[in-house]
Structure formats: C-alpha cells, structure tokens
Amino acid sequence: MPVIHVSILEGRSVDTKRAYIKALTESSVTHLGCRPENVTIVISEMPFEHYGKGGKMKLDELIEEGITLEEYHAREAKVAGQEK
C-alpha cells in the first residue's frame, strides 16, 4: 500500500490538486501493480516564506523579480499548460 507524501508551495487550485492526486494514483497502479483504493496521497502546502533554495527564500526571489504570488501561479500554470 503506497503512501506518497508531496510538499508543494501553496496556491494551487483544488482542481489542480485533484488532477495531481488522480495522476499519482494512476501511476502507482500502473507501475506498482496496486489497487487505486490502496494508494494514499498526502499533500502538504508550504507558504513561500517557508521555502528556500540556494540560500534564498522563495518569497524574496519573487519580490526581487517584482511579481506577485498570483502572477507566479499564473506563470506556472501557463508553463504546465493549465491556464486558470
């Protein structure tokens, strides 16, 4: 029975997370040979001020780029082909 823990930055829509859970479950069924009802997905969302990379807080990177959280998520959705 796989239990998958995913940490993501906050702000994605419920529909996006629903689709992600479905995709992870389907992949687990395909690659691990388990039943969908035995796959557990746990998504933990982090505020941008709780995430850093390369010595910089993600929130500070956005501020330096002059973009808002909403603009960041719109950009990410566009890159993923999931415009909101």
Catalytic residues: 2
Distance, in Å, from the CA atom of 84 to the CA atom of 76, rounded to the nearest integer, reads 10
Distances (CA, A) of 41 to 10, 12, 28, 32, 69: 16, 16, 10, 15, 25
Residue 20 CA, distance from chain mean position: 8
Return the DSSP state at 41: E
